[in-house]
Chains A and B, each alone.
Chain A
Amino acid sequence: MGGLGKRNAKSAVSHQIRPAQESSVERRGEIRARTREISWLLLYSVVLCSTLLMGSPTAQAIPAFARKYSLPCSACHEAWPKLNEFGQVFRDNGYQLGNDRDAPITQIPSYWPITFRITPQWHREYNQRVAVDNIPGDPASGQTEQRVSTSGFDISGVDIWAAGTLAKNISFVVLPSSDENGNFHFESAFVRFDNLAGSRWLNLKFGKFELDTPVSEKRILTLSNDGGFYQNYHFEPPGDTNITEMGDNQLGVELLGHSANSYTRYSVAVVSDSDGSPNLPTGRGYDVYSNVSHAFEVPHLGLQRFGVLNFTGESPTAYQTSNGQPIPGTGSGNKPWYRVGAYALDYIGKFDLSTVYVHASDSAYLGTGTAANQPLPAGARAPAWNGGFVESDYVYSPRLVLVTRYEAVRMSQQALPTSPHALGNIDAATVGYRWYPIMNSRAGLAWHQEYSWMISRDSSPLTGRDAAGSSLFFGFDFAF
């Protein structure tokens, strides 16, 4: 770079002293020199891009399992952390390869099944309409809606992932996870009994775990505040008091089965209606989640998977109180809700296309936040909505993946007839890429860049206008 700078400086000086009668020979020489410079720059760019995109076909990581099985990260991950079919089978088998060497007793004693993951980052957050005090610090001064934007360097929470086998066909996961301030909770913690009665169709999981959603949100390829989750897995209409969200890890028991290559899969989970929160904070209700899918191979395209899901349950609408405060665990007046959906996960060469559709409804009591022993507001009815997303992941190589996603939620029926028809409707879009520049058999590092945008219709806090926001994210996502 220094040499190039000097050449440019020299060229500028010669331009200043160039006489009007400068010969055409000199001019041609300068043109040749510039052409040469441009050519070398072009060559340098091409070589750099080629090196980044083509020159490194290997991608190896996933520390805990890579250490155990000496497999590259790309064996299980289409692009870390998203699983491919081999990774899905490995997971369905209870983190076992089935080579009669899965039990920890067969591992070298120094093996430690732990992975850490954290993401230092720079990000910018923009919110179009935020209720702001007219005089800062004075709530009595009234509020107006203003744009709020902030940016800077930041850090994510840390995941400390321990997973593997306790014995052949007995698996476990313990995943303490912290927020950005180091406050820990257990994101996952379960034991799983695999291949019960010698059949891969019977596997029992007990503890806190991710529901078997069509596309795993815990392995999402986007990380920004607006794009780092699936809206449809968490959506509740404004004013709705149902706390259970399909995208949150739940406490319960799951029965799962699969064919040898996991082309056919099913899962049925019975979970406490607490949205995965410990200490029984709600009532004594249970929810049931089920998912069935089947895949088949289309020559020269890849695997095509189709499935359906159902999540149904009852949530409390009232609590016993002490000094006016709800007593945890005393929830009552349960009212029903449901989510049903269908999805297609299709490979078209290097494109991995995920299409998910969800239809949902909550009881009118949940939709209006009304206790079951109280009368509903006039005209109240069960809110219902439809939603879905289309995500396209272009896996150029195990080292580079481009991600685009569009997601929408549309209310088909508001809980209150007086609510605007579009209240709560969501449109969200995300585009980004992940590049894995340095990976070896012990650690992985991804450069992550993403822009996401979302708008929630008629839901700004003061004027009821559309509320939009966006996130811009750069960061290093690494695990070791």
Chain B
Amino acid sequence: MAEGAKHLVRIGAVVAAMIVLMSTPCKSQESHIGNLTGLAKRGRPIYARYCVGCHGERGDGAGENAPHVNPQFPQPRDFTVGLFKCRSTPSGSIPLDSDLFDTVGRGINTTAMPSWFPLTRQERADLVAYIKTFSPRFRDEKPDPAVIIPPETALTPASLERGKGLYEANKCGECHGKDGRGDGPSAPSLRDNKGNPIPPYDFTTGERFKCGQTDSDLARIFLTGLDGTPMPTYVDYLQGDQIWDLIHYLRTLQTNHKHKTLWARLFAD
């Protein structure tokens, strides 16, 4: 009997080990967004429910649905690399927790990444904590401080004219096209950091950018670049008011951009 009992103990140990292995170890990763603390262990089932289809169980962007993402869209992000488009930190830095939190809630416009705003704030914070477990960068590095956006300048005809000149001088049209339609001569050959085709933004459709919809959001993109994509940072090329000159001009390309309607003002959240 003693031998039988030992055998049972061994079997029990095997079962316990299997359960531990099957539950995929979550590193004790946390996220901090304001007064919210997200926990990776709580984020894991949320990731499994909402994200795994595209981003994959290992966070490598190789989910079951990834091959079937609309070919017009970029491929799902590979979290293991630790490169993220939408950040407030300088190019090359890992993002702040709040950057990832905002991206999850806002989605990435004109891509397959929807807005997960309907998830509770706690769920989104937990999700951010779990996403961070995929890349060792979040364990080994600290994010740089957020970039500082200069105060907005006045919208004037002269500003628009200067912005148009900057658009040409910085060769924005090479990718985004002369009229901002995303059809520049380099557009067909653009690739992301994994070698997948990635279309440049078409300013003439929609009202929002990939990382937000306000002028400040666009200014932040110029200062941080979109890591993992061909869109570089222009922090060294656009000085002071030049950022706002360029933004003022780009808004003129955005034919769908308009001020909120009366109804939107009355009823918008």
Query: Please, which residues of chain B bring their CB within 8 A of the CB of A42?
Result: 11
Q: Which of B90-139 contact A (CB under 8 A)?
A: 107-122
Indicate if the CB atoms of A299 and B65 lie closer than 8 Å. Answer: no
For residue A60, which residues in chain B have a CB less than 8 angstroms away from its CB? 53, 64-65
B205 near A199 with CB under 8 A, answer no
- Residues on A with C-beta less than 8 A from B158 are none
Q: Quote the shortest CB–CB distance from B49 to chain A (angstroms).
A: 4
A31: chain B residues at CB < 8 Å are: 1, 4
Q: Which residues of B contact A28 (CB under 8 A)?
A: 1
- For residues 1 through 22 of chain B, which have their beta carbon under 8 Å from a beta carbon of chain A? 1, 3-4, 7-8, 11, 14-15, 18-19, 22
Q: Check B263 against A199 for contact (C-beta < 8 Å).
A: yes
Once bound together, how far apart are the Cα atoms of A183 and B43, in whole Å? Answer: 46
Establish whether residues B53 and A441, one from each chain, have CB atoms under 8 Å apart when the complex forms: yes
The 8 Å CB contact of B260, one of A35, A72, A198, is A198
Q: Is A167 an interface residue (CB 8 A)?
A: no
Chain B's interface: helix, strand, loop or mixed, by majority?
loop
- Residues of B contacting A299 in the complex (Cβ-Cβ under 8 angstroms): 122
For B, the interface residue count at a CB cutoff of 8 angstroms equals 59
In contact, B208 and A100 (Cβ under 8 angstroms): yes
Annotate B11-39 by CB proximity to A: 1 below 8 A, 0 otherwise.
10011001100110000000000000000
Chain A contacts of B189 at CB under 8 A? none
Residues of A within 8 Å of B267, CB to CB, are 199-202, 257
A39 touches B8 (CB 8 A): yes
- Tell me if A465 counts as interface (CB < 8 A to partner B): no
B11 engages A297 (CB within 8 Å): no
Chain A contact-residue range equals: 35 or more
Task: List residues of chain B with CB within 8 A of the CB of A75.
Answer: 49-50, 53
CB contacts between A and B, total, < 8 Å: 155
Q: Is the CB of A43 within 8 A of B15?
A: yes
The verdict on A164 contacting chain B, using a C-beta distance below 8 Å, is no
With contacts A54-B23, A98-B115 taken as known, whether A70 is within 8 angstroms of B3 at the C-beta atoms is no
Question: B52 an interface residue at 8 Å Cβ cutoff?
Answer: yes
User: Residue A72 contacts which of B49, B73, B205 (CB distance < 8 angstroms)?
Assistant: B49
A196 surroundings in chain B (CB, below 8 A): 263
Given contacts A54-B23, A74-B49, A197-B261, contact A86 B72 (CB under 8 A): no
Given contacts A32-B4, A35-B8, A42-B11, contact A297 B120 (CB under 8 A): yes
Q: Does B57 contact A (CB under 8 A)?
A: yes
**Considering the chains assembled together, what is the distance between the CA atoms of A42 and B10 in angstroms?**
12
Partner of B122, one of A43, A300, A440: A300
Tell whether, in the assembled complex, residue B114 and residue A46 are in contact, meaning their CB atoms are under 8 Å apart: no
Residues of chain A within 8 A (CB-CB) of B207 are: 100
Across the A-B interface, the 5 shortest Cβ-Cβ residue pairs: A57-B48, A72-B53, A197-B263, A35-B4, A100-B206
The interface of chain B, by Cβ under 8 A from chain A, is 1, 3-4, 7-8, 11, 14-15, 18-19, 22-23, 44-45, 48-50, 52-54, 57, 64-66, 68-73, 107-122, 205-208, 260-264, 266-269
